[in-house]
Chains A and B, each alone.
Chain A
Amino acid sequence: MTGVHVSTTVNGDAVEFVCPGSESLLDVLRNRLGLTGAKEGCGTGDCGACSVTVDGQLVCSCLVLGAEVEGREVTTVEGMARGDELHPLQRQFIENAALQCGICTPGFLVAAKALLDRNPSPNEEEIRYALAGNLCRCTGYDKIVRAVNAAAKDLAREAKRSGKKRKRA
């Protein structure tokens, strides 16, 4: 195989791989790096199940080539929890029953985190538009929107608490 050698960072870890120039980042993550959290629902950037961030930007990893992430920082759903502590979005998806089959969940979580990173207190409409690139066929999105809203509130409370702590220190 004539391949491209790529050095990159995935979920904070330095990673190297060789892949054909035509191979998608999604296939690299799933088939070369063992990170099967990102899913292929369409392969054409229409369903968002393969959502990851590259240098903080939300992308469909099926539309990015593996060779393109040389020297970049890739974050996937596997990088969301800190150790054994789930991210508030992950917690609220479980609490709100925001998943049924769960195949779209990794993509929704990554997309929702990208939203909250940029807009910590979105209203319902902003949540719905930010997640419009992610397809879910089970839930009708109702409980997903509620979960994202609840996680935003959790994160705001956490930020307030850590702000107070910093003030006291």
Chain B
Amino acid sequence: MTSDTSYTDQEFSLIGTRPIRPDGVDKVTGRARYGADASAPGQLVGLILRSPHAHAKIKSIDTAKAEKLAGVKAVLTAADLPDLTNGNRASYDVLENCMARDRALYDGHAVAAVAAIDEVTARKALKLIKVSYKKLPHVTDVDEAMKDNAPIVQPHVRTAGGDPDKQTNIAQVSTFGHGDVEAGFAKADYIVEESFKTEQTHQGYIEPHACLATLGPDGQGELWVTTQGHYTFRNVCAELLGLEVAKLKVTSSEIGGGFGGKTHVWMEPVALALSRKANRPVKLVMSREEVFRASGPTSSTSVDVKLGATRDGRIVAATATLRYQDGAFPGIWGMLGAMTSFACYDLENVKSVGYDVLVNRPKVAAYRAPSAPMAAFGVESCVDLLAAKVGMDPVDFRLLNAAKEGTKASYGPPYGPIGIGPTLETVKKHPHMRARLGKNQGRGMACGFWFNFGGQTCCDLNIGVDGTVNLTVGTVDVGGSRASLSLIAAEELGIPYESVKCTIGDTASLGHNDTTEGSRGTFSSGMATIFAARNAIEELKARAAQTWEINAKHVEWENGQAIAKGIEHSNLGPLTLEELARKSPTTGGPIAGHNEVVADGAGVSFASHICDVEVDPETGSTKVLRYTVVQDAGKAIHPDYVEGQFQGGAVQGIGWALNEEYIYGKDGRLQNPGFLDYRIPVCSDLPFIDTEILEIPNPNHPYGIRGVGETSIVPPLAAIANAVSNAVGVRMRHIPMSPPRVLKAIKEAQMEEEAQQQVSAG
């Protein structure tokens, strides 16, 4: 079978080795072309005018002066983007996010755009556009937005299944779980109940959104863009602009980081519309400030967790209420928080309720295992507290309650073979857990879960006349996947890694591929590559049989060559892939393999992290001293890039836990839209990040691959909060644990202690 997805245990010759990446030289010489690195003859510079208000009615927009400025070729407002979404509210939301219609919904919401011959002219034109606003009441905090008297962000929104007449900011309530939690808590000897908050963070990719758009009056267009999903971008842009999908060619540039933030269109439809109006190519590049103000950060949250355990250390009941803000448009972030919160544990009675809440902030986008880190922060903090109440070591307590094969997940389905137990066993044995700690130092650990995703995938594998191979895939290479996919093609065909050239195809070269999200790149394109290679091998065997004039069923493929089986064929020497390729012009033409698949069966992934910190009691500043990531990869195709995913996710989590935060003023405007005041971790903040790759094969992939990209950001918030709490002796309940917040927590605990002493003394 060329398309059997089930796992087969096999000896690999290339998988698991660490060859250099094929795009390495381009990327170290400055040759690699990213979103802002392309130009077209006659191109214009596009710029966007953005709302300075958190919430305002747009009374009028006067573009007359801007249009008259010499060098201005197009000015665009919502009036140039008619609603073609046919009642599809989700699509209308995307359109409205690209360009405000009657109201600006957040600070930074686009209200108009220009295309001009150069940047100086475009900037002048922006200043000449006069927008008349009427400010409206706004809300930016998730708990405030849920109150009955809160300003309403989207008047049409009703809570699904709720009061059809009541305007609300609660777009969705999602409930998961099983058993009887009340009965469970009644049996508990110990109960922990705590509330937590996390602030909003941004994916923080170093490359701002950028595109080069060309759209003619004939409805034919091209879009060069930094994206995680060029096929999705094509479909969305075509729908919003009334284009035929086949006539819009979208090419994904090299991508300078995405982490989920480049799964949505932000200004690409605007660039295409400007190009159509001006009938010239338009290059549109966001500034860093625009990236922060107007492209998708993740949710800020407010989470309550309650856990109960019996004396023997079994968790008998667990509940969580999770409130996630979605920005100004409904999303699924509270739902994902509710689904992931208790996924690490084997629980008889569990209930989680997620709220998706609208506020006047930018539309929330996916950020690496979206929603799971905040839920894990609350749950894993409470797991530590409950372990302490029971009197058990936190790792042993987690091991006792960990989910295993056959466990009914808190979000519904039963688990197959999973890695939570093995990661905890590895942590338990790890020398990190026995290293000595000094004064003001603390250790914490935590677990994390992510689903992973497969999705629609296709690829082409074309064998050249010299036996080298072009592999064309439709998932974007965000972290070295061209290397892993080349390894897979070479492994299947039995040829050297260096003989494969992997390219990301544009939308005119391959069928639809879902966006590269859910850690699916190597999982799903790896699966399609295996099947395409096996498909090509069938053809290679047929060509060998034809050459030998024997029946194809007597031909087998071994180590990169066709072998004639059976004693009667012992006179026939093997034919290598290269020999068959060289003969191909006369044996039937080009040899290729193809595959189209919906890559179901993405294996869930678990990780356990250990972290040591030192907290300066004078300043409240926290330094990470040591960090260890243990995660199940299913199968590590190229271990360097698996380690890279573990390390990168952990460090994004460290930034989130300690520093990063969107700060909004009372006026609802973002106060820190730059890397100076929104501080992501730098090299001198960090130690080396140690990694342990476990390999528990995913039964639904021929090589056992699980996605590895996202899970690594799930445990850090909780692991670091547990470490800081242990270092300072005060439970940390608010992320990020920035120095003022840590100092405040220490002072409040001291005051509480003093007050108690006074009471007992009096």
Q: Interface of A with B (CB < 8 Å)?
A: 1, 20, 22, 30, 35-44, 46-47, 49, 76-78, 80-81, 86, 90, 93-97, 99-106, 109, 125, 127-129, 131-145
On whether the beta carbons of B651 and A42 are closer than 8 Å, the reply is no
Q: Digit string of B116-135 for contact with A (CB within 8 Å is 1, else 0)? A: 00101000000000000000
- Other than the given A40-B208, A78-B30, A102-B28, 12 more pairs (CB < 8 A) read A36-B30, A41-B206, A41-B256, A47-B288, A100-B644, A100-B648, A103-B34, A132-B684, A135-B680, A137-B205, A137-B206, A142-B688
Task: Give the residue name and chain of the B residue nearest to A45 (CB).
Answer: B676
Nearest chain A CB to B476 CB, angstrom units: 10
Q: Could you name 12 residue pairs across A and B whose Cβ atoms are closer than 8 Å?
A: A39-B256, A41-B206, A94-B24, A94-B28, A95-B20, A100-B641, A100-B644, A101-B257, A102-B254, A105-B28, A136-B683, A143-B643
Looking at B30, B33, B207, B686, which has the most chain A CB atoms within 10 Å of its CB?
A: B30
On whether the beta carbons of A140 and B650 are closer than 8 Å, the reply is yes
Q: A97 to chain B: which residues have CB within 8 Å?
A: 18, 21, 480, 640-641, 643-644
Interchain CB contact (< 8 A) of A139 among B18, B205, B648:
B648
On whether the beta carbons of B648 and A138 are closer than 8 Å, the reply is yes
A46-B674 contact, Cβ under 8 Å, with A77-B30, A135-B682, A141-B651: yes
Q: In the complex, A70 Cα to B532 Cα: how many Å?
A: 56
On whether the beta carbons of A102 and B27 are closer than 8 Å, the reply is yes
Task: Give the residue name and chain of the B residue nearest to A37 (CB).
Answer: B30
Q: B257 to chain A: which residues have CB within 8 Å?
A: 100-101, 103, 137-138
Q: In the complex, A149 Cα to B3 Cα: how many Å?
A: 45
Q: B20 to chain A: which residues have CB within 8 Å?
A: 94-95
Q: A145 to chain B: which residues have CB within 8 Å?
A: 683, 688
Nearest chain A CB to B202 CB, angstrom units: 10
Looking at B18, B28, B30, B37, which has the most chain A CB atoms within 10 Å of its CB?
A: B28
Chain A CB within 8 A of B689 CB: yes
Interchain CB contact (< 8 A) of A40 among B36, B640, B641, B650:
B36
Task: Give the residue name and chain of the B residue nearest to A41 (CB).
Answer: B206
Task: Give the residue name and chain of the A residue nearest to B712 (CB).
Answer: A140
Task: Give the residue name and chain of the A residue nearest to B690 (CB).
Answer: A142
Interface of B is mostly: loop
Nearest chain A CB to B710 CB, angstrom units: 13
Q: Digit string of B365-409 for contact with A (CB within 8 Å is 1, else 0)? A: 000000000000000000000000000000000000000000000
Interchain CB contact (< 8 A) of B648 among A41, A109, A129, A140:
A140
Q: A127 to chain B: which residues have CB within 8 Å?
A: 683
Q: In the complex, A47 Cα to B271 Cα: how many Å?
A: 26
Chain A CB within 8 A of B647 CB: yes
Question: Which of the four size classes fits the interface of chain B?
Answer: 35 or more
Nearest chain B CB to A29 CB, angstrom units: 10
Chain A CB within 8 A of B29 CB: yes
On whether the beta carbons of B684 and A86 are closer than 8 Å, the reply is no
Within 8 A of A (CB), among B221-267: 254-259
Task: Give the residue name and chain of the B residue nearest to A105 (CB).
Answer: B27
Q: Interface of B with A (CB < 8 Å)?
A: 18, 20-21, 23-25, 27-34, 36-37, 118, 120, 203-208, 254-259, 285, 287-288, 478-480, 640-641, 643-644, 647-648, 650-652, 674-676, 680-686, 688-689
Q: In the complex, A1 Cα to B116 Cα: how many Å?
A: 14
Nearest chain A CB to B646 CB, angstrom units: 8
Q: A95 to chain B: which residues have CB within 8 Å?
A: 20
Q: B676 to chain A: which residues have CB within 8 Å?
A: 44, 46
On whether the beta carbons of A141 and B28 are closer than 8 Å, the reply is no
A140-B254 contact, Cβ under 8 Å, with A39-B207, A41-B207, A46-B675: no
Q: A40 to chain B: which residues have CB within 8 Å?
A: 36, 208, 285
Q: A90 to chain B: which residues have CB within 8 Å?
A: 25, 28-29
Q: In the complex, A1 Cα to B71 Cα: how many Å?
A: 12
List 9 tightest A-B contacts by C-beta distance, closest first. Answer: A37-B30, A103-B256, A140-B651, A102-B27, A46-B675, A97-B640, A94-B24, A140-B647, A90-B28
A128-B206 contact, Cβ under 8 Å, with A37-B29, A101-B255, A139-B644: no
Task: Give the residue name and chain of the B residue nearest to A129 (CB).
Answer: B684
Looking at B34, B120, B682, which has the most chain A CB atoms within 10 Å of its CB?
A: B682
Q: In the complex, A99 Cα to B683 Cα: how many Å?
A: 14
Nearest chain B CB to A132 CB, angstrom units: 4
Task: Give the residue name and chain of the A residue nearest to B653 (CB).
Answer: A140
Interchain CB contact (< 8 A) of A47 among B18, B37, B675:
B675
Nearest chain A CB to B252 CB, angstrom units: 12
On whether the beta carbons of A141 and B25 are closer than 8 Å, the reply is no
Looking at B24, B208, B640, B681, which has the most chain A CB atoms within 10 Å of its CB?
A: B24
Q: In the complex, A3 Cα to B600 Cα: how many Å?
A: 58
Q: A44 to chain B: which residues have CB within 8 Å?
A: 288, 674-676
On whether the beta carbons of B288 and A137 are closer than 8 Å, the reply is no
Q: B256 to chain A: which residues have CB within 8 Å?
A: 39, 41, 101-104
Q: In the complex, A143 Cα to B383 Cα: how many Å?
A: 33
Interchain CB contact (< 8 A) of A106 among B30, B208, B287, B644:
B30
Q: B27 to chain A: which residues have CB within 8 Å?
A: 99, 102, 105
Nearest chain B CB to A45 CB, angstrom units: 8
Interchain CB contact (< 8 A) of A80 among B23, B29, B32, B479:
B29
On whether the beta carbons of A131 and B675 are closer than 8 Å, the reply is no
Q: A37 to chain B: which residues have CB within 8 Å?
A: 29-31
On whether the beta carbons of A94 and B206 are closer than 8 Å, the reply is no
Q: In the complex, A4 Cα to B255 Cα: how many Å?
A: 34
Q: In the complex, A20 Cα to B124 Cα: how many Å?
A: 15
Q: B208 to chain A: which residues have CB within 8 Å?
A: 40-41
Nearest chain A CB to B697 CB, angstrom units: 24
On whether the beta carbons of A81 and B648 are closer than 8 Å, the reply is no
On whether the beta carbons of B640 and A86 are closer than 8 Å, the reply is no
Task: Give the residue name and chain of the B residue nearest to A143 (CB).
Answer: B644
Interchain CB contact (< 8 A) of A39 among B29, B31, B206, B652:
B206
Q: B288 to chain A: which residues have CB within 8 Å?
A: 41-44, 46-47
Task: Give the residue name and chain of the A residue nearest to B27 (CB).
Answer: A102
Nearest chain A CB to B478 CB, angstrom units: 6
On whether the beta carbons of B29 and A36 are closer than 8 Å, the reply is no
Nearest chain A CB to B367 CB, angstrom units: 11
Task: Give the residue name and chain of the A residue nearest to B288 (CB).
Answer: A42
Task: Give the residue name and chain of the A residue nearest to B36 (CB).
Answer: A40
Task: Give the residue name and chain of the A residue nearest to B646 (CB).
Answer: A140
Looking at A30, A43, A129, which has the most chain B CB atoms within 10 Å of its CB?
A: A43
Nearest chain B CB to A48 CB, angstrom units: 9
Nearest chain A CB to B20 CB, angstrom units: 5
Q: B689 to chain A: which residues have CB within 8 Å?
A: 140, 142
On whether the beta carbons of A100 and B479 are closer than 8 Å, the reply is yes
On whether the beta carbons of A132 and B644 are closer than 8 Å, the reply is no
Nearest chain A CB to B739 CB, angstrom units: 18
Q: A142 to chain B: which residues have CB within 8 Å?
A: 643, 647, 686, 688-689
Nearest chain B CB to A87 CB, angstrom units: 8
On whether the beta carbons of B686 and A141 are closer than 8 Å, the reply is yes
Q: A42 to chain B: which residues have CB within 8 Å?
A: 288, 674-675
Q: B204 to chain A: which residues have CB within 8 Å?
A: 137
Interchain CB contact (< 8 A) of A20 among B120, B651, B683:
B120
Q: B682 to chain A: which residues have CB within 8 Å?
A: 131-135, 141
On whether the beta carbons of A36 and B33 are closer than 8 Å, the reply is yes
Q: B23 to chain A: which residues have CB within 8 Å?
A: 102
A103-B21 contact, Cβ under 8 Å, with A86-B28, A140-B650: no
A137-B647 contact, Cβ under 8 Å, with A46-B674, A97-B18, A131-B683: no
Q: In the complex, A131 Cα to B683 Cα: how many Å?
A: 6
Nearest chain B CB to A169 CB, angstrom units: 32
Nearest chain A CB to B72 CB, angstrom units: 16
A128-B36 contact, Cβ under 8 Å, with A42-B674, A76-B30, A102-B254: no
Q: A101 to chain B: which residues have CB within 8 Å?
A: 205-207, 254-258, 478-479
